[in-house]
Amino acid sequence: MNRDSIIFLEHMLDAINNIDKFMLTVTKQEFFTNVEKHSAVVRQLEILGEAAKNLKHSFISKYQSIPWKEIIGLRDKVIHHYFGLDMEIIFDIVNKELPPLKKNLQKIIKIENEK
């Protein structure tokens, strides 16, 4: 296992953990109206996607259950189309997509560290 891949996975996990902290007590309405909160979350989504983008194709192909293309695509969208972001979609991604991704990343890191 390439140590770089583990580092990128850990960056992804750190970004999700940061989002979890930012959103701990935030309601949906607060998320929409609090520029600081949604800006912080969007920045962590950029980091999440950038780390995924740096993983080697050979590594990504080993874990096809992870939606790598969507993660990287979201990164591209939040960087290049910031003013057109739908915070409703971002809120849903944070609450519905990130929890299972977090669990899967934790499993992958454990598997790769045992090699």
Give the residue numbers marked as catalytic: 75, 80
CA dist list (Å): 16 to 23, 42, 44, 48, 88: 10, 11, 7, 7, 18
* Tokens representing residue 10 in the block: 């850990």
